[in-house]
């Protein structure tokens, strides 16, 4: 596993597209936020402890995150059978490693670990293990259908967790 240092350039982050890549192992959930030219306001907001919530719809779990003054972000979390079989977590608060990188240059601006609240952690772990095995195409279709019906802010109002 790569040890990331802020201020350094990583070729893997150069995509010229914006997006969030989620990966999961027995130590933590890692979210790589790839944004074109994130400014200091975004970095400062993401340095503050975020709010975490979960939204479940049509066999898809969305992790919702709100950083300070930024809008809610929805991250579809759908993991393969291999990931589910290897994933175990028994502590109270699941660590969530958040990296923020410039998708044009590969420069890493933020590498922080936050901890999901106990209830959200428990629901997340259960959500991972109860996901049905469906094709990638079906997952993408379901995600697109849900996102066309609900914004991240609307999902947050309907979700498991405390909204802000």
- 163 in a structural domain: no
Tokens for 147, please give them: 């996102």
- 47 in a structural domain: yes
- 164 in a structural domain: no
Tokens for 144, please give them: 């697109």
Q: Tell me the C-alpha distance between 14 and 148, whole Å.
A: 28
For residue 91, the model assigns a pLDDT of 81
Residues of the chain with pLDDT under 70: 1-2, 81-86, 160-164
Domain tally, the chain: 1
For residue 163, the model assigns a pLDDT of 43
- 104 in a structural domain: yes
- 152 in a structural domain: yes
Q: Domain of residue 17: give its range.
A: 11-158
Half-sphere exposure at residue 104, Cβ-oriented, CA atoms within 13 angstroms: 3
- 121 in a structural domain: yes
For residue 128, the model assigns a pLDDT of 87
Q: Residue 127 is inside which H or E element, if any? A: helix 118-130
pTM of the predicted protein model: 0.87
Three state DSSP letters for 61-75: EEEEEECCCCCCEEE
- 2 in a structural domain: no
For residue 164, the model assigns a pLDDT of 43
For residue 129, the model assigns a pLDDT of 81
């Amino acid at each position: 596993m790569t040890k990331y240092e802020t201020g350094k350039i990583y070729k893997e982050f150069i995509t010229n597209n914006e997006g969030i890549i989620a990966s999961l192992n027995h130590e933590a959930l890692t979210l790589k936020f790839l944004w074109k030219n994130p400014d200091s306001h975004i970095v400062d907001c993401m340095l503050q402890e975020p709010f975490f919530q979960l939204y479940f719809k049509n066999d898809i779990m969305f992790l919702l995150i709100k950083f300070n003054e930024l809008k809610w972000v929805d991250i579809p979390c759908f993991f393969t059978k291999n990931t589910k079989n290897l994933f175990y977590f028994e502590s109270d608060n699941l660590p969530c490693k958040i990296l923020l990188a410039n998708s044009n240059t590969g420069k890493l601006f933020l590498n922080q670990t936050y901890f999901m609240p106990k209830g959200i952690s428990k629901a997340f772990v259960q959500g991972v293990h109860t996901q049905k095995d469906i094709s990638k195409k079906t997952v993408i279709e379901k995600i697109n259908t849900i996102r066309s019906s609900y914004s991240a802010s609307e999902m947050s109002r309907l979700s498991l967790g405390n909204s802000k």
